[in-house]
Amino acid sequence: MIRTALVAAFTMLLVGMAVAPAAQAASEAEIERLSSFAMVLGRGIGCNLDTKRAAVMLENWFDKAFPPGSGEQEQYRPVFAAEVKQYARQQRSGDSPDSCADVAQAFYTLRW
C-alpha cells in the first residue's frame, strides 16, 4: 500500500509543474513542490529506478522556477541535492515508509 506522503507528493506533481514569473520570489507552493520532487527522485534512486528522464525534467523545471544565477537557485540547489541524497539513503536502508514496489508504481505513472 502506498503511504499518504508518497500519494500526496505524486498527486501534487501530477497537477503540473507551475512556474512563478522570474521577477517574483519563490512561492510556498514551489518550495513544497521542490521538496516533493526531492522525495520522488530520491526514493526512485534508492530503488534503483531509471531516473534519467525524471532528472532532466526536474532540472528544466528547476531552472524555470529558480532562474540560473539567481540567489534562489544558489540557495535551493544544495538543499534539493541534500534532500535527494537523504531520501535515497532512507529508501536503501529500509527506513522509508514505502516499498520499492510502491515507489516504482507511483514513479512510473508520472509523465516525465
| 90 against 20, higher pLDDT | 90
Output 3 or 28, whichever has higher pLDDT. Answer: 28
Q: Record the pTM.
A: 0.76
Structural contact between residues 77 and 84, judged by C-beta atoms closer than 8 angstroms: no
Q: With bands split at pLDDT 50, 70 and 90, how would you rate the model's confidence at 66?
A: confident
Residue with cell 507511483: 106
Give residue 1's Cα distance to chain centre.
20
